[in-house]
Structure 1
């Protein structure tokens, strides 16, 4: 059976994939993640998920390689990882009382055959009205500066939500496991 490779160094994606109980390796792909002019959020995450998987195909010639990328969209604008307290605060102030759509591109490449399966999985978060004190308290506790949208849904960030909608909550964290299992089964990989 071919081995699994996660084309990511993200601890969040690694934790999610480990939930399936499947042995896997992980390796960070070296790709340019620049948003191209005129590219929609969906096109961006699809392109980057595929590029991440393909970037490692030569080094891992007999693997099923998983690539994933995520974008958060608020008011038709892509919002990325904030990296700082101030930017995270601005993102959450903008999200307050609004809805943020998360698009997660997922690609599974069979590096032996070159066959690729790809999809984009949407998930929407409807935020509560958030005052400045609540936002600052949340950011000081969880420090979600490496997360698109400035929250960790798998942690205290859930308290910021009024509601969510989508088929796979794991897509919100960055690796849609339901769709990934479909792809693995379709590739002939034995998933328990």
Structure 2
């Protein structure tokens, strides 16, 4: 006589923590329909002298995941960071309308690489992985009036490069080239699934 029931109970999935207070990353991780907690990492995000955008993103993603993992050693912790790369120069979040205007005036007609780094750490098991999703974005040749209308409507002052692609920011762009569709928003979910699965989280 055979049974359809599994012969053994699989090990429990480890608790999952998102080491970020970003509402964009929170919304993206929620798509996986997994229980998780969001914890703010205590990390200095100041770039090092001469540090290129990809290295900066990787260093900060790892630092965020490691810092939160020290406080929650049994959990699988996700850390992520995004830096806009304009010909090797890092561009961060503008913070103000004036800085956003200046950023977008520099970006019009340019190709920018958004470097989105992802780190997954579990202190209890010694698990640590890091990867980076590079998204190549071509901006339209925007007029001053288009920039002003966009910023007044969207107010993307907490977005790297002032480009909120999941909203009206998509109208600023000519093309997006990437292999992980959510990377530009701030959390590459294809890589996230692969890495947290390897760390002991059941997905789905």
Residue in structure 2 matching 1:168, options 180, 191, 195 = 180
- In the other structure, the counterpart of 1:158 is 170
Find the structure with the greater CA-based Rg. 2
- In the other structure, the counterpart of 1:119 is 131
- In the other structure, the counterpart of 1:41 is 53
SS at match of 1:157: helix
- In the other structure, the counterpart of 2:149 is 137
Cα deviations across residues 117-166 of structure 1 (Å, max 9, x unaligned)?
10111001111110000000000000001110102111010011101001
Superposition TM-score, scaled by structure 1 size: 0.97
Residue in structure 2 matching 1:66, options 78, 95, 101 = 78
- In the other structure, the counterpart of 1:99 is 111
Size of the aligned set, in residue pairs, is 192
Superposition TM-score, scaled by structure 2 size: 0.91
2:82/2:115 contact within 8 Å kept: yes
- In the other structure, the counterpart of 1:146 is 158
SS at match of 1:13: helix
Residue 76 of structure 1: how far off its partner (Å): 2.0
Displacement over 6 Å in runs of 4+: none
SS at match of 2:29: helix
- In the other structure, the counterpart of 1:9 is 21
SS at match of 1:181: helix
Residue 40 of structure 1: how far off its partner (Å): 1.6
Aligned alpha-carbon RMSD (Å): 1.0
Residue 90 of structure 1: how far off its partner (Å): 1.1
Q: Which runs of 5+ in 2 are unaligned?
A: 1-12
Q: Distance in 2 between matches of 1:119 and 1:56?
A: 18
SS at match of 1:97: coil
Matched, 1:20 2:32: yes
- In the other structure, the counterpart of 1:52 is 64
Deviates more, 1:91-100 or 1:134-143: 91-100
2:19/2:78 contact within 8 Å kept: yes
Q: Which runs of 5+ in 1 are unaligned?
A: none
2:52/2:89 contact within 8 Å kept: no
Q: Distance in 2 between matches of 1:93 and 1:40?
A: 22
Q: Distance in 2 between matches of 1:160 and 1:79?
A: 17
